[in-house]
Amino acid sequence: MLPKIGQTIHLDLTGDGEENQLYTYKSRVADLRDQIAVIELPISEKTGRTSPLLAGTACHAWYIGVDGSRYEFPTTILGRYSENIPVLHMSLPAKEEVRRNQRRNYLRIQTSIEIAVKLDDSIRNYHFLARTADLSGGGLSFTCQETYRLKEQDTLKIWLSLPNKAGQVQHAYAEGEIVRVKAPKEKGKHQWVSVKFVQISESDRAKIVRACYERQLEMRKKGAIE
């Protein structure tokens, strides 16, 4: 599935040089033409500033489709043009060259971030803070006190605070369904709850996916993972 007009798209630079591993750009598709995507000037997710990117720059493009899957393909910046606003032209692959990663294949990373959780129920009207045990674009797990009587198939409202490389915090919201609850091994310890996202905006899922990849890169630099 090729991106659509209005689609938020992310660009990872793929050229030589360690600095290319540190910069990801975000843009929006303004128009689609024969094998060309017209995109707004990309914004660096590290600095928050626009960047024209030079003609010939090789990129790895990815975006989240309406089905919740991640779509990705290699591309090249073709040049900068002025069409009411400054834009870039970017090459598009054939449809069959776009790779689809289903939700179950989202990178899952162990990370502890703060979340707010709410369960709307006539009896179990809970609203509490917790911390994740792991996170992915398709869901998360968290631990909380056993006094919150959560059960499988409960629907939770979840607000996430996502730190990024620039030291800023982005916020995301999702509704999730509990798929598993594991009681604590010892009395007084926290229970473990696994959740899959059932409703989340494309932009918020993209924030989560990016946070997972940044965390993975950080762990690799520290030698925590291969």
**Fold type of domain 8-101:** Pnp Oxidase; Chain A (2.30.110)
Q: Where are the beta strands (DSSP E) in 97-215?
A: 99-101, 109-110, 114-119, 126-136, 139-144, 155-163, 169-182, 191-200
The CATH number fitting domain 109-221, selected from 3.40.50.920, 2.40.10.220, 3.40.50.300, 3.80.10.10: 2.40.10.220
For the chain, the domains span: 8-101, 109-221
70 SS3 class = strand
Query: pTM to 2 decimals?
Result: 0.55
Rounded CA-CA distance 222/133 in Å is 19
pLDDT by residue for the chain (226 residues), tens only, comes to 788 898 889 898 875 544 444 567 889 999 999 899 999 999 887 777 887 789 999 998 988 776 667 889 999 999 999 988 999 999 999 888 898 876 556 788 899 999 999 998 888 999 999 999 999 988 999 999 999 999 998 999 999 999 877 778 899 999 999 999 998 888 878 999 999 998 888 788 888 988 888 888 887 777 654 4
